């Protein structure tokens, strides 16, 4: 007998599981023979029990009702379940659409933008990206690049009273126009100096060769500068007490700026070779607020012997840059024979400094220096230290100290310079007041203002400066020796 029940459901079961096994639990001799027949015709006992249990669960409460009712109720249940499934499926699909995740089957539906709107947005986007990356649409026309009426807080103290840099590019005068943004109040007096063609001076410590002639520079000597080492005429310098004496610390940085600017200007006036050398040293020097302007001094030397001589003194007071020692030595040695006995080695050292400076100047300047030096033989010791310690920014200025005995070529100029420096030191230790008087007597004393500022430094350094050889390492040695003296 075939169990038609099983036979009927085989097809449906096949959909679910490809194979099913009926495993009889209890096989013994008694039913072994009939087992195959029973399997094919009847559910196994355990299967029958499970079947009954499930039927009971399904037809809970319906057993008592007539069959048709049972059927109806079961159908209703099926329908409800079907409806719930459908609504759930719908919700899932909607959510997927919103998140654009994509349906399990089919193509994801992407919402599209209105074309006009998209074009507008594209245009805006291009504008924004251009503005951020290259500054398009952000540049103000030149006429609007004036000083703003009211600066925001963070720019008030930065820009101060003027915004020269905010000028449009066509204004090539740039830095050195009157509205220079290098806004130091002390520099204001120097602004006339800056009117040298600024384009040549901007941003570079290396001055362009050629450029302005000395006469151009002289044309700016109309307004007196507040610093004694200005390239203005010596008389003008002396008439105004150097403010360096008063505010040494405060003005160091400003003077450094001035020095650098003035040095640049001076560089322009020098021959190209010297300018190159000067450029090297300019970069290397550490401007420590000595307030000297070697450029000024150089200029003075060229134009007016005595006055320039004074400026040279100031240059000597520039900081000594040991690294430049051997580079800057220009082969001139200080002649020791000419040095008056009253003058110590310091004077000689000063002279060597001056030598290097003077070597680049005309002979007339040298002779002028010499004459000036002759008048002040024994007063330069305090100033010597000042000049010695400073590291000149320019190669000329670099104080390269040599042993006096080794320098038979010591020029007069060096003596002159040293003498002048001594004069300054003697009279101006700690103060610049005697300058006016001295200047009248000795034109070469114009640079004393600078020297006095460094009087203390100079004195301490003077000893160190004695007889330094051209090589840098020696300088250190001598320094120690000098200090021990």
Q: Is 183 in the site for another protein (CB under 8 A)?
A: yes
CA–CA dist 18, 16 (Å, integer): 7
Closest approach, Cβ 193 to another protein, in A, equals 15
Q: Tell me whether residue 375 is exposed, middle or buried, using C-beta atoms within 10 angstroms of its C-beta: 0 to 12, 13 to 18, 19 or more.
A: middle
* Residue 344 C-alpha from the chain's centroid: 46
CA–CA dist 422, 343 (Å, integer): 9
Q: Out of 175, 206, 214, 276, which residue is the one contacting another protein (CB under 8 A)?
A: 175
Select 42 or 145, whichever has its Cβ closest to another protein.
Answer: 145
Closest approach, Cβ 286 to another protein, in A, equals 18
Closest approach, Cβ 264 to another protein, in A, equals 12
Specify whether the CB–CB gap between 214 and 284 falls below 8 A: no
Q: Which residues pair with 319 in a beta bridge?
A: 391
* Residue 345 C-alpha from the chain's centroid: 43
The phi, psi pair for 140, rounded to 5°, reads: -80, 145
Closest approach, Cβ 391 to another protein, in A, equals 23
Q: How many chain residues interact with another protein (CB under 8 A)?
A: 59
Closest approach, Cβ 182 to another protein, in A, equals 5
Listed ranges 177-185, 221-229, 367-375, 431-439: which one lies at the site for another protein (CB under 8 A): 177-185
Q: What x-and-dash track marks residues 46-85 binding another protein by CB under 8 A?
A: ----------------------------------------
- Residues numbered 96-115 forming contacts with another protein, rule: CB under 8 A: 98-100, 110-113
Sign of CA dihedral 59, 64, 70, 74: negative
Select 145 or 326, whichever has its Cβ closest to another protein.
Answer: 145
From 229, 232, 209, select the one nearest 219 (Cα to Cα).
232
Provide DSSP, 8-45: HHHHHHHHH-S------S---HHHHTTHHHHHHHS--H
Neighbouring CB atoms inside 10 A of 246's CB total 12
Listed ranges 163-171, 232-240, 270-278, 293-301: which one lies at the site for another protein (CB under 8 A): 163-171
Q: Out of 8, 122, 250, 437, which residue is the one contacting another protein (CB under 8 A)?
A: 122
Dig out the tokens for 90 from the structure: 């719908």
From 330, 196, 319, 329, select the one nearest 267 (Cα to Cα).
196
Neighbouring CB atoms inside 10 A of 111's CB total 7
Q: Out of 37, 49, 172, 433, which residue is the one contacting another protein (CB under 8 A)?
A: 172
Closest approach, Cβ 138 to another protein, in A, equals 4
CA–CA dist 12, 10 (Å, integer): 5
Select 60 or 116, whichever has its Cβ closest to another protein.
Answer: 116
CA–CA dist 116, 426 (Å, integer): 87
Select 78 or 158, whichever has its Cβ closest to another protein.
Answer: 158
- Residues numbered 142-161 forming contacts with another protein, rule: CB under 8 A: 144-155, 157-160
State the DSSP code for 373: H
Closest approach, Cβ 412 to another protein, in A, equals 41
Q: Out of 13, 74, 131, 364, which residue is the one contacting another protein (CB under 8 A)?
A: 131
Neighbouring CB atoms inside 10 A of 126's CB total 11
Closest approach, Cβ 212 to another protein, in A, equals 15
Select 63 or 146, whichever has its Cβ closest to another protein.
Answer: 146
Q: Out of 8, 26, 31, 124, which residue is the one contacting another protein (CB under 8 A)?
A: 124
Select 9 or 85, whichever has its Cβ closest to another protein.
Answer: 85
Q: Out of 139, 246, 271, 337, which residue is the one contacting another protein (CB under 8 A)?
A: 139
Q: Is 250 in the site for another protein (CB under 8 A)?
A: no
From 296, 287, 232, 282, select the one nearest 255 (Cα to Cα).
287
From 449, 386, 456, 374, select the one nearest 417 (Cα to Cα).
374
Q: Out of 27, 78, 202, 433, which residue is the one contacting another protein (CB under 8 A)?
A: 202
CA–CA dist 10, 142 (Å, integer): 93
Q: What x-and-dash track marks residues 423-462 binding another protein by CB under 8 A?
A: ----------------------------------------
Interface with another protein (CB under 8 A): 98-100, 110-113, 118, 121-122, 124-129, 131-133, 135, 137-140, 144-155, 157-160, 163-169, 172, 174-175, 180-183, 199-200, 202-204
């Amino acid at each position: 007998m075939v169990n038609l029940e099983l036979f009927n459901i085989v097809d449906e079961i096949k959909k679910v599981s490809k194979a099913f096994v009926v495993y009889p639990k209890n096989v013994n001799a008694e039913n072994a023979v009939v087992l195959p027949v029973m399997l094919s015709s009847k559910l196994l006992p355990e299967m029958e029990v499970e079947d009954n249990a499930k039927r009971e669960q399904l037809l809970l409460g319906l057993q008592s009702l007539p069959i048709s009712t049972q059927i109806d109720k079961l159908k209703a249940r099926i329908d409800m379940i079907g409806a719930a499934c459908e609504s759930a499926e719908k919700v899932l699909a909607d959510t997927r659409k919103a998140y654009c995740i994509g349906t399990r089957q089919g193509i994801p539906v992407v919402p599209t933008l209105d074309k006009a709107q998209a074009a507008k947005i594209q245009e805006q986007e291009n504008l924004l990206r251009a503005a951020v990356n290259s500054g398009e649409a952000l540049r103000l026309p030149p006429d609007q690049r004036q000083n703003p009426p009211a600066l925001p807080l963070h720019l008030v103290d930065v820009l101060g009273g003027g915004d020269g840099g905010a000028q449009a590019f066509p204004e090539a005068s740039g830095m050195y126009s009157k509205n220079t943004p290098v806004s130091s109040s002390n520099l204001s007096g120097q602004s006339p100096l800056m009117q040298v063609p600024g384009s040549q001076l901007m941003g570079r410590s290396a001055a362009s060769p050629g450029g302005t002639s000395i006469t151009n520079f002289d044309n700016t000597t109309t307004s007196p500068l507040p610093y004694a080492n200005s390239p203005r005429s010596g008389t003008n310098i002396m008439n105004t007490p150097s403010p360096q004496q008063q505010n040494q610390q405060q003005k160091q940085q400003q003077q450094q700026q001035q020095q650098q600017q003035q040095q640049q200007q001076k560089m322009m006036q020098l021959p190209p070779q010297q300018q190159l050398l000067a450029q090297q040293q300019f970069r290397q020097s550490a401007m420590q607020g000595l307030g000297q302007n070697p450029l000024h001094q150089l200029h003075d030397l060229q134009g007016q012997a005595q006055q320039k001589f004074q400026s040279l003194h100031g240059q000597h007071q520039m900081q000594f840059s040991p690294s430049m020692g051997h580079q800057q030595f220009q082969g001139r040695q200080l002649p020791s024979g000419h040095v008056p006995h009253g003058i110590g080695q310091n004077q000689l050292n000063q002279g060597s400094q001056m030598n290097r400076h003077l070597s680049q100047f005309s002979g007339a300047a040298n002779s002028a220096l010499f004459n000036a030096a002759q008048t002040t033989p024994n007063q330069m010791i305090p100033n010597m230290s000042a000049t010695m310690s400073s590291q000149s920014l320019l190669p000329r200025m670099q104080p390269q100290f040599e042993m006096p005995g080794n320098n038979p070529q010591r020029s007069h100029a060096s003596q002159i310079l040293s003498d002048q420096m001594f004069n300054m030191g003697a009279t101006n230790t700690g103060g610049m007041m005697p300058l006016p008087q001295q200047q009248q007597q000795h034109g070469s004393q114009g640079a004393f203002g600078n020297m006095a500022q460094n009087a203390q430094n100079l004195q301490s350094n003077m000893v160190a400066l004695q007889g330094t050889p051209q090589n840098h390492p020696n300088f250190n040695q001598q320094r120690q020796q000098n200090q021990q003296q």
